[in-house]
Amino acid sequence: MSTDARESYPVEKTDEQWRAQLDPQEYAVLRQAATERPYTGEYTNEKTVGVYHCRACDAELFRSATKFDSHCGWPSFWAPLAGDRVELLEDRSMGMRRVEVRCATCGSHLGHVFEGEGFGTPTDQRYCINSVALRLEPAEG
Protein backbone atom coordinates (compact mmCIF):
# COMPACT_ATOMS: atom_id res chain seq x y z
CA MET A 1 0.00 0.00 0.00
CA SER A 2 1.32 3.41 -0.88
CA THR A 3 0.74 6.30 1.46
CA ASP A 4 0.83 9.13 -1.09
CA ALA A 5 -1.33 9.64 -4.15
CA ARG A 6 0.44 9.50 -7.46
CA GLU A 7 1.36 12.79 -9.05
CA SER A 8 -0.33 11.88 -12.33
CA TYR A 9 -2.98 9.49 -13.58
CA PRO A 10 -3.83 8.21 -17.08
CA VAL A 11 -7.01 10.36 -16.98
CA GLU A 12 -6.48 13.89 -15.74
CA LYS A 13 -8.86 16.84 -15.90
CA THR A 14 -8.96 20.29 -14.42
CA ASP A 15 -11.20 20.98 -11.47
CA GLU A 16 -13.50 22.93 -13.79
CA GLN A 17 -13.76 19.94 -16.16
CA TRP A 18 -14.62 17.58 -13.26
CA ARG A 19 -17.26 20.01 -11.99
CA ALA A 20 -18.82 20.23 -15.47
CA GLN A 21 -18.90 16.42 -15.84
CA LEU A 22 -20.09 15.39 -12.37
CA ASP A 23 -23.19 16.41 -10.45
CA PRO A 24 -22.57 18.06 -7.04
CA GLN A 25 -22.82 14.81 -5.00
CA GLU A 26 -20.60 12.90 -7.46
CA TYR A 27 -18.05 15.72 -7.35
CA ALA A 28 -18.09 15.85 -3.54
CA VAL A 29 -17.45 12.10 -3.22
CA LEU A 30 -15.17 11.42 -6.19
CA ARG A 31 -13.05 14.58 -6.12
CA GLN A 32 -13.31 15.76 -2.48
CA ALA A 33 -13.45 12.37 -0.67
CA ALA A 34 -16.89 12.94 0.86
CA THR A 35 -19.12 9.99 1.79
CA GLU A 36 -22.72 9.47 0.78
CA ARG A 37 -25.19 8.78 3.58
CA PRO A 38 -25.49 5.08 4.46
CA TYR A 39 -28.34 3.07 2.95
CA THR A 40 -29.09 5.77 0.36
CA GLY A 41 -26.96 4.64 -2.60
CA GLU A 42 -28.49 3.04 -5.66
CA TYR A 43 -26.18 -0.01 -5.54
CA THR A 44 -26.31 -0.83 -1.82
CA ASN A 45 -28.72 -3.75 -2.34
CA GLU A 46 -28.15 -4.26 -6.08
CA LYS A 47 -28.03 -7.89 -7.26
CA THR A 48 -27.65 -7.37 -11.03
CA VAL A 49 -24.79 -9.31 -12.62
CA GLY A 50 -22.27 -7.04 -14.30
CA VAL A 51 -19.21 -4.84 -13.97
CA TYR A 52 -18.96 -1.74 -11.81
CA HIS A 53 -17.10 1.17 -13.42
CA CYS A 54 -15.67 4.39 -12.01
CA ARG A 55 -18.34 7.04 -12.55
CA ALA A 56 -15.65 9.67 -13.21
CA CYS A 57 -13.50 7.94 -15.87
CA ASP A 58 -15.37 4.69 -16.72
CA ALA A 59 -12.51 2.38 -15.68
CA GLU A 60 -13.67 -1.14 -14.80
CA LEU A 61 -13.23 -1.60 -11.05
CA PHE A 62 -15.33 -4.42 -9.54
CA ARG A 63 -17.39 -7.40 -10.71
CA SER A 64 -20.75 -8.26 -9.21
CA ALA A 65 -19.37 -11.74 -8.41
CA THR A 66 -17.26 -10.14 -5.64
CA LYS A 67 -20.12 -8.07 -4.20
CA PHE A 68 -21.56 -9.28 -0.90
CA ASP A 69 -24.10 -8.22 1.71
CA SER A 70 -22.21 -6.64 4.59
CA HIS A 71 -25.20 -4.62 5.86
CA CYS A 72 -22.90 -1.62 6.39
CA GLY A 73 -24.98 0.81 4.31
CA TRP A 74 -22.75 0.92 1.22
CA PRO A 75 -21.96 -1.56 -1.57
CA SER A 76 -19.29 -4.01 -0.40
CA PHE A 77 -16.88 -6.07 -2.50
CA TRP A 78 -14.25 -8.55 -1.35
CA ALA A 79 -11.78 -7.68 -4.15
CA PRO A 80 -11.32 -5.25 -7.04
CA LEU A 81 -11.44 -6.54 -10.61
CA ALA A 82 -7.62 -6.53 -10.61
CA GLY A 83 -5.20 -5.21 -8.03
CA ASP A 84 -3.93 -2.47 -10.29
CA ARG A 85 -7.44 -1.02 -10.86
CA VAL A 86 -7.46 0.69 -7.48
CA GLU A 87 -4.94 2.62 -5.43
CA LEU A 88 -4.80 2.19 -1.65
CA LEU A 89 -3.76 5.14 0.51
CA GLU A 90 -3.40 5.60 4.24
CA ASP A 91 -6.18 7.84 5.57
CA ARG A 92 -5.80 9.31 9.07
CA SER A 93 -8.81 11.62 8.86
CA MET A 94 -11.66 11.49 11.37
CA GLY A 95 -9.27 10.51 14.19
CA MET A 96 -8.67 6.94 12.98
CA ARG A 97 -6.44 4.97 10.63
CA ARG A 98 -8.23 3.71 7.54
CA VAL A 99 -7.24 2.70 4.03
CA GLU A 100 -8.72 4.87 1.30
CA VAL A 101 -9.58 3.30 -2.06
CA ARG A 102 -9.07 5.44 -5.16
CA CYS A 103 -9.48 4.73 -8.85
CA ALA A 104 -6.00 4.07 -10.25
CA THR A 105 -7.01 5.57 -13.61
CA CYS A 106 -8.22 9.01 -12.48
CA GLY A 107 -7.43 9.23 -8.75
CA SER A 108 -11.06 9.60 -7.73
CA HIS A 109 -12.08 8.66 -4.18
CA LEU A 110 -14.21 5.50 -4.11
CA GLY A 111 -14.41 4.57 -0.43
CA HIS A 112 -12.35 2.55 2.06
CA VAL A 113 -11.18 -1.04 2.50
CA PHE A 114 -11.30 -2.89 5.81
CA GLU A 115 -9.76 -6.22 6.86
CA GLY A 116 -10.36 -8.80 9.54
CA GLU A 117 -14.05 -8.18 10.09
CA GLY A 118 -14.95 -11.87 9.85
CA PHE A 119 -17.22 -11.81 6.82
CA GLY A 120 -15.88 -15.14 5.53
CA THR A 121 -15.01 -13.80 2.09
CA PRO A 122 -12.02 -15.24 0.20
CA THR A 123 -9.87 -12.18 1.00
CA ASP A 124 -11.27 -11.24 4.44
CA GLN A 125 -11.53 -7.72 3.03
CA ARG A 126 -14.48 -5.36 2.63
CA TYR A 127 -14.14 -2.71 -0.03
CA CYS A 128 -16.80 -0.29 1.21
CA ILE A 129 -17.55 1.81 -1.87
CA ASN A 130 -19.86 4.78 -2.39
CA SER A 131 -22.64 4.00 -4.89
CA VAL A 132 -22.30 7.47 -6.36
CA ALA A 133 -18.68 6.64 -7.29
CA LEU A 134 -19.82 3.69 -9.43
CA ARG A 135 -21.75 2.94 -12.61
CA LEU A 136 -23.03 -0.60 -13.15
CA GLU A 137 -22.84 -2.10 -16.62
CA PRO A 138 -25.17 -5.13 -16.58
CA ALA A 139 -23.86 -8.32 -18.21
CA GLU A 140 -25.35 -9.14 -21.58
CA GLY A 141 -27.51 -12.17 -21.91
Is 106 annotated in the active site?
Answer: no
Catalytic residue, chosen from 54, 57, 103, 128, is 128
How much is the pTM? 0.92
Give me the residue spans of the domains in the chain: 15-138
Query: Mean of the per-residue pLDDT values for the chain?
Result: 93
- Collect all residues with Cβ–Cβ distance below 8 Å to 134 and sequence separation of at least 6: 43, 52, 53, 54, 55, 61, 62, 75, 110
- Say if residue 1's pLDDT is above 60: no
- Say if residue 3's pLDDT is above 70: no
Which CATH homologous superfamily contains domain 15-138?
A: Peptide methionine sulfoxide reductase. (2.170.150.20)
pLDDT digits (tens, 9 = 90+) for 14-48: 999 999 999 999 999 999 999 999 999 999 999 99
Element (H, E) at 17: helix 15-21
